């Protein structure tokens, strides 16, 4: 499936919140018991930044988002969310492989975290060479060793 990344704009903020809600609410509910929309929106608003945020576009439709922080020694995947109708089509795999290649070319490590209930995402990360380097009870922290 062909896709493109485009820089997120302030006009994408509501889509990005709704994407977060649709992809994460079931995991949040399984870990913390419920999705408190007011709290989640406030938390989203506090952390929201356009820096490093891209919208995944498939045939002119918003299909997901990628938020990456690039630091001197590492690339951190803050979020990679793909709407359910676009999952399983190789988009996440290709995005991550590109980031792994970028990290390798620049001699940087690549890290991410995944909620413990998101076994499908964790399996993808492991298939791509990420290894668990710790956890806090709710999230697995992972690193790709190049």
**For residue 7, which of 49, 37, 36, 45 has the smallest C-alpha distance?**
49
- pLDDT over 70 for what percent of the chain? 99
Helix (H, G, I), strand (E, B) or coil at 101: helix
Range of the domain at 8: 4-144
Residue 9 has pLDDT above 90, yes or no: yes
Chain segment 23-60, per-residue pLDDT in tens: 999 999 999 999 999 999 999 999 999 999 999 999 99
Confidence (pTM):
0.92
Domain tally, the chain: 1
CA–CA gap between residue 94 and residue 33 (Å, rounded): 33
CA–CA gap between residue 57 and residue 9 (Å, rounded): 13
pLDDT for the residue 146: 67
Residue 131: CATH number of its domain: 3.40.630.30
């Amino acid at each position: 499936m062909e896709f493109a990344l485009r820089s997120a704009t302030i006009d994408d903020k509501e889509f990005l919140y709704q994407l977060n809600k649709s992809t994460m609410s079931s995991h949040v509910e399984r870990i913390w018991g419920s999705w408190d929309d007011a709290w989640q929106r406030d938390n989203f608003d506090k952390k929201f930044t356009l820096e490093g945020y891209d919208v995944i576009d498939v045939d002119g439709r918003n299909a997901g988002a990628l938020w990456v922080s690039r630091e001197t020694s590492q690339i951190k995947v803050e979020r990679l969310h793909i709407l359910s109708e676009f999952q399983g089509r190789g988009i996440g795999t290709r995005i991550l492989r590109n980031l792994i290649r970028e990290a390798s070319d620049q001699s940087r490590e690549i890290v991410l975290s995944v909620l413990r209930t998101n076994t499908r995402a964790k399996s993808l990360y492991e298939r791509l060479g990420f290894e668990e380097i710790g956890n806090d009870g709710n999230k697995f922290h992972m690193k790709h060793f190049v």
